[in-house]
Amino acid sequence: MRRENRALAYVVLSVGAVVGGLMFAAGGFAIREDPSSGTPSIWSEATTPPAPTTVESTQAPPPTTAPPTFPQHGEGTFRRATGSAKRVGTGRVLRYRVEVERGLDQEPAEFAQWVDRILADQRGWTAGGQWAFQRPAGGSVDFIVKLASPDTVDEICGRYGLDTGGEVSCRGQENVVINVKRWVLATPAYQGNVDMYRHLVVNHEVGHFLGHGHVTCPGKGRPAPVMQQQIYGMGGCVPNGWPYPRPAGIDGEPYWGGPAAPAGRA
């Protein structure tokens, strides 16, 4: 009988060891010290995980960029850009001056650099060989490129019977008048590409001075002609700010024309 009891105890102990080994192998239990007794106890990781720790972020939110601002009304007088720009192009030379209305944030020198680069670009009006441009340091000029507030644009353009509504630019006789609202905000089709819109608005209004009228989109998916009133919709065309988008034009032809647009808008 004593041998049987010892054998039974041995079997129970062996079974317990096997079960304990399986528990550790499965990773479902761990052993820790019971602080009250100083002996190990078994607890389940799966059912009693440690409480999560919350860490407050000290990182500042990303800065936001304020939209460009401009005055609705300037002082009505203009500052002339100093300096000069050399002659570009091989055709008839047209001399121009650059001015910025007092009260605007833009500096005449910066605006003049934009105008100079646009008129000198090989995709611009000089590409056809008919025109050349030069900004002299002084003396008489053929046309004046003005950057003006919306109200001043309306006042100048209204002298020539043009309704700009505080929104668009115009050309009246020798005055090529660029609306600062469009200069800083562009138009819906040019969101994210203000530079391209600036190319367009200068080329478009100078194009009027050269004798070109408004046209419409010649076909869906084609670059919009520079003389299209793109602010009023693209008509299926894609944005384009140049009369000759490639140095030799598209398919060897200039790209400023298209079907004539109805008259009536500046």
pLDDT by residue (tens digit) across 184-223? 999 999 999 999 999 999 999 999 999 999 999 999 999 9
pLDDT at 205: 99
Q: What is the mean pLDDT of residues 77-100?
A: 98
- 26-30, 121-125, 214-218, 234-238, range with the lowest pLDDT: 26-30
- Give the span between the Cα atoms of 14 and 22, in whole angstroms: 13
Q: Which residue has the higher pLDDT, 84 or 42?
A: 84
**pLDDT tens readout for residues 146-162:** 999 999 999 999 999 99
Burial of 265 (0-12, 13-18, 19+ CB in 10 A): middle
Confidence of residue 124 (pLDDT cuts 50, 70, 90): very high
Q: Rg of the chain over CA atoms, in angstroms?
A: 38
The share of the chain scoring above pLDDT 90, in percent, equals 65
In this predicted structure, the answer to whether residue 44 has a pLDDT above a threshold of 90 is no
- The average confidence (pLDDT) of the chain is 81
Q: Which residues of 132-154 are buried (b: 16+ CB within 10 A; e: fewer)?
A: bbbbeeeeebebbbbbbbbbbbb
Q: What is the mean pLDDT of residues 25-35?
A: 40
Distance CA 106, CA 100 (A): 7
pLDDT digits (tens, 9 = 90+) for 158-182: 999 999 999 999 999 999 999 999 9
Per-residue pLDDT, averaged over 241-245, amounts to 93
pLDDT given for residue 58 in this prediction: 56
Domains along the chain?
Answer: 78-212 (3.40.390)
pTM, rounded to two decimals = 0.73
In whole angstroms, give the CA distance from residue 234 to residue 57: 46
> What b/e string do you get for 178-195 counting C-beta neighbours within 10 Å, with b at 16 or more?
bbbbbbbbbbebbeeeee
Instruction: Using pLDDT thresholds of 50, 70 and 90, give the confidence band for residue 109.
Output: very high
Output the pLDDT for position 63.
59
Residue 39, pLDDT above cutoff 70:
no
Q: Which residues contact 85 (CB under 8 A, 6 or more apart)?
A: 112, 116, 120, 133, 134, 135
Which is more confident, 6 or 254?
Answer: 254
Q: Taking a C-beta distance cutoff of 8 angstroms, is the pair 231, 241 a contact?
A: no
Q: Is the pLDDT of residue 107 over 70?
A: yes
In the numeric block, which tokens belong to residue 148?
């003006």
What is the band of 2 on the pLDDT scale with cuts at 50, 70, 90? very low
Give the tens place of pLDDT for each residue, 65-86. 677 889 999 999 999 999 999 9
